Amino acid sequence: MENLIPVILSGGSGTRLWPLSREAYPKQFLPLVGDQTMLQATWRRAAPVTRARPIIVANQEHRFMVAEQLREIGVEPAAVVLEPAGRNTAPAIATAALIAVAQNEHAVLLVLPSDHVITHESAFHDAVRLAMPAAARGDLVTFGIVPKAPETGYGYIKAARGEGVRAVDRFVEKPDLETARGYIEDGGYFWNSGMFLFKASSYLSELRRLEPDMLAACEQALALAKRDADFIRLDADAFTGIRSDSIDYAVMEKTSAAAVVPLEAGWSDVGSWGALWDVSAQDSQGNAHHGDVIEIDCKNTYAYGNRLIALIGLQDVVVVETDDAVLVGSRDRIQEVKEVVGQIKTAGRSEAAAHRKVYRPWGAYDSIDQGARFQVKRITVKPGATLSLQMHHHRAEHWIVVSGTAEVTRGDEVILLAENQSTYIPLGVTHRLKNPGKLPLELIEVQSGSYLGEDDIVRFEDAYGRTNG
């Protein structure tokens, strides 16, 4: 299948798996099932059916996480399309289709969200191969999940009777429980998976017919895009002016070319902690645990954390621990975590958006302690990486090297610091930190001053093209 190009949609920033998933570090970048992140697993799943490099569509704020995670598994993407703002799936897929068809007029796109789980990958590969002839002749194929239960959290697809690739009779919204039970009894309804297979030209043709303004704006955003290595930065003015719409509403529900392939492959969109429990390995008592967990007389529990978690006499309970938050809830009510996140945002707290440990293109920092006029960070800098040349109006900084070698620019001087050596950066002095070595640089930074926010950074030079953060 030489013309088959995977398109991986990684623009989401959902918080239904809070406190592990947050706006700045959403679930597609987490190793929720197995050792690989969900983004990495999505590519691994697609790789056996194609020789082409993937096109990734991502939020521009996540660009370095996408690049780093693909690098870790040896993948060089054909392009990483950066959205300045989320506009749902129809515009995201359109920009990928425009890129693909410019390279290959016969390109067939396998569109995959980056945050799904499929446990039976061979069944998924068989479904893709089955759908290829229909996609090649112009059908817009989606994959309908054979329902296991009358689920009210998914939209459904009503398929024509038959075998193999079927015509779509209609798409239906998320039903109530009684209606969902009727769908199960009927046997012709499938969960809407959000995965697609079609020729890039076929999708663009239908979008041009049904939503010409949307396609025109996508074309303009791409024509005015700035290219930086594999990154394609869509023009902000053109793209943010697009009406946000899903591919289902914009195209699939309106086209006569919609087709569906039933899929039984252990699929989950991992939309809640309960759903993650469903697809996780469980012991004989139904417990699914990730990390250092001790349980005594527990049933059907889910626990995820880094520190030791001890559970005693619990049933149907979810426990999730991170450095700055702990979630404990009944498994049948854990979807109410969205209300917790809402209260956190209303209170103006940071825990909804970011973890205590924040990743940057040069490495990461972890805010391990803070008070009224001080903050302590543990900073890790990748080998060869350099932070921006910057200064601060409101804080001074002390740097103590824990391991590795630091090259420090401080005003007009450049000094090298080895393990256990330190330096002081006065308020208002231009400075830069670099790791010239082949091993990670680790240091402790102690900030002191009247204001310690991350927006107190004036950048003069930056290798990563950042304007803030």
pLDDT of 173-220, one tens digit each? 999 999 999 999 888 999 999 999 999 999 999 999 999 999 999 999
Are 153 and 174 contacting, i.e. CB atoms less than 8 angstroms apart? Answer: yes
Per-residue pLDDT band for 466 (boundaries 50, 70, 90) equals low
Are 190 and 147 contacting, i.e. CB atoms less than 8 angstroms apart? Answer: yes
Task: Spell out the domain ranges in the chain.
Answer: 4-268, 279-344, 357-461
3-state SS class at 405 = coil
**Angle (nearest 5°) at CA 52 between 83 and 115:** 50
- Residues facing 406 on adjacent strands: 417
What is the tens place of the pLDDT at every residue in 3-59? 999 999 998 777 789 999 998 899 999 999 888 999 999 999 999 999 899 999 999
> How far is it, in rounded angstroms, from Cα 183 to Cα 429?
67
* Helix extents (H) in 190-258: 200-210, 212-223, 236-240, 247
Interacting residues of 237 by C-beta distance below 8 A, sequence separation 6+: none
3-state SS class at 69 = helix
How many residues can be counted in the chain? 469
Q: Does residue 307 carry a pLDDT above 50? A: yes
At position 400, the amino acid (one-letter code) is I
Residue 38 tokens read as: 């969900």
Interacting residues of 136 by C-beta distance below 8 A, sequence separation 6+: 108, 199
Are 377 and 366 contacting, i.e. CB atoms less than 8 angstroms apart? Answer: yes
Are 202 and 138 contacting, i.e. CB atoms less than 8 angstroms apart? Answer: yes
Nearest to 141 by CA among 166, 116, 123: 166
Chain mean pLDDT for the chain: 94
What is the maximal distance between C-alpha atoms in the chain?
Answer: 76
Complete edge-to-edge strand list for the sheet that includes strand 317-321: 288-290, 302-304, 317-321, 326-330
* Residue of higher predicted confidence among 180 and 464: 180
| Residue ranges of E strands in 75-203 | 79-83, 108-113, 117-118, 140-145, 156-159, 166-172, 189-199
> What's the fold here for domain 357-461?
Jelly Rolls (2.60.120)
What is the tens place of the pLDDT at every residue in 112-136? 999 999 999 999 999 999 999 999 9
> How far is it, in rounded angstroms, from Cα 49 to Cα 126?
9
Are 117 and 268 contacting, i.e. CB atoms less than 8 angstroms apart? Answer: yes
Q: What pLDDT, on a 0 to 100 scale, did the predictor assign at position 11? A: 86
The dihedral region occupied by 428, where left means phi > 0, alpha psi between -120 and 50, and beta the remainder, is left
Complete edge-to-edge strand list for the sheet that includes strand 422-425: 357-360, 363-370, 374-381, 441-449, 395-403, 422-425
Q: Does residue 463 carry a pLDDT above 90? A: no
Q: Does residue 274 carry a pLDDT above 60? A: yes
Interacting residues of 308 by C-beta distance below 8 A, sequence separation 6+: 292, 293, 294
Q: Is the peptide bond before 19 cis (omega within 30 degrees of 0)?
A: yes
Q: Does residue 258 carry a pLDDT above 70? A: yes
Residue 200: burial class (beta carbons within 10 Å; 0-12, 13-18, 19+): buried
Q: What pLDDT, on a 0 to 100 scale, did the predictor assign at position 467? A: 57
> How far is it, in rounded angstroms, from Cα 330 to Cα 302?
10
Q: What percent of the chain has pLDDT over 70?
A: 99
Domain 4-268: CATH superfamily is: Spore Coat Polysaccharide Biosynthesis Protein SpsA; Chain A (3.90.550.10)
> How far is it, in rounded angstroms, from Cα 329 to Cα 335?
9
Residue 148's CB: how many other CB atoms inside 10 A?
12
Nearest to 378 by CA among 391, 390, 369, 389: 369
Per-residue pLDDT band for 468 (boundaries 50, 70, 90) equals very low
Are 454 and 350 contacting, i.e. CB atoms less than 8 angstroms apart? Answer: no
What is the tens place of the pLDDT at every residue in 359-397? 888 999 999 998 989 999 999 999 999 999 999 999 999
Number of helices and strands in the chain (H, E): 11, 30
Average pLDDT for 145-163:
90
Interacting residues of 338 by C-beta distance below 8 A, sequence separation 6+: 15, 16
Are 323 and 309 contacting, i.e. CB atoms less than 8 angstroms apart? Answer: no
* pTM for this entry: 0.88
> How far is it, in rounded angstroms, from Cα 330 to Cα 310?
16
Q: Is the dihedral of CA 140, 141, 142, 144 positive or negative?
A: positive
Per-residue pLDDT band for 469 (boundaries 50, 70, 90) equals very low
Tell me how far the alpha carbon of residue 122 is from its chain's centroid.
Answer: 24
Rg (CA), the chain: 24
The enclosing H or E element of 260 equals strand 258-263
3-state SS class at 2 = coil
Q: Does residue 441 carry a pLDDT above 60? A: yes
Nearest to 268 by CA among 6, 92, 62, 16: 16
Q: What pLDDT, on a 0 to 100 scale, did the predictor assign at position 238? A: 96
Q: What pLDDT, on a 0 to 100 scale, did the predictor assign at position 34? A: 84
